[in-house]
Chains A and B, each alone.
Chain A
Amino acid sequence: MILNPDEIQAIRQEAGHFPHPSAAAIEALNIAQQGHGWISDELLKEIADVLGMSPAELDSVATFYNLIYRRPVGKRVIHYCNSVSCWMLGAEDNRRHLSEKLGIGLGETTGDGEYTLLPIVCLGACDKAPVLMIGDETHFNVDPAKLDAILGDTGAP
Chain B
Amino acid sequence: MDKPLTRNIKPDGSAASLAEYRAGGGYEGLKKVLAEFAPLEVQRQVKDSGLRGRGGAGFPTGMKWSFVPMGEDAPKTKYLVVNGDEMEPGAFKDRLLLEGDPHQLIEGVAIASYAIQANIAYVFLRGEYRLAADRLRRAIAEAEEHQLLGENILGSGFNLDLRLHTSAGRYICGEETALLNSLEGKRANPRAKPPFPQVSGLFGKPTIVNNVETLCNLPHILRNGVEWYKGLSRTGEPGTKIYGVSGRVERPGAWELPMGTTAREIIEEHAGGMRDGYRLKGYLPGGASTDFLLPEHLDIPMDYGSIAKAGSRLGTGTLILLDDRTCPVRMVLNLEQFFAQESCGWCTPCRDGLPWTVSLLEGLIAGRGRPEDLETLERLCGLLGPGNTFCALAPGAMEPLQSALKHFRADFERYLQPHSISGGVHA
Measured CB to CB, the residues of A under 8 A from B are 17-20, 22-27, 29-30, 51, 53, 60-61, 64-68, 79, 82-85, 87-89, 120-129, 133, 136, 138
Contact = CB atoms under 8 A, between A and B. Distances in A.
Given A19-B203, A30-B127, A67-B127, 6 more contacts: A66-B168, A67-B128, A122-B87, A122-B92, A126-B246, A128-B252
Among B89, B90, B335, max chain A CB count under 10 A is at: B89
A27 B169 contact: no
B166 A30 contact: yes
Given A84-B331, A85-B246, A127-B92, A66 B169 contact: yes
Given A26-B182, A66-B168, A124 B126 contact: yes
Contacts of B245: 127
B88 to A, nearest CB: 7
B92 A20 contact: no
Nearest to B182: A26
Interface of B: 86-92, 94-95, 126-131, 163, 165-171, 182-188, 203, 244-248, 252-254, 288, 318, 320, 326, 331, 334-335, 337-338, 341-342
A88 B91 CA distance: 15
A125 B186 CA distance: 28
Contacts of B342: 121
A84 B90 contact: yes
A127 B244 contact: yes
Given A84-B320, A87-B334, A88-B331, A124 B168 contact: no
B165 A27 contact: yes
28 contacts: A18-B185, A18-B203, A22-B185, A25-B186, A26-B167, A27-B165, A30-B127, A30-B168, A60-B186, A61-B187, A64-B170, A65-B127, A65-B167, A83-B334, A83-B338, A84-B89, A85-B246, A87-B334, A88-B247, A88-B326, A89-B247, A120-B169, A121-B87, A123-B128, A124-B91, A124-B94, A124-B129, A126-B92
A118 to B, nearest CB: 11
B89 A129 contact: no
A20 B89 contact: no
Contacts of B248: 88-89
Contacts of A125: 92, 95
Contacts of B254: 127
Contacts of A51: 185
B184 A23 contact: yes
Contacts of A27: 165-166
Residue among A121, A129, A136 facing the most chain B CB atoms (10 A cut-off): A121
A129 B318 CA distance: 14
A69 to B, nearest CB: 10
A84 B338 contact: yes
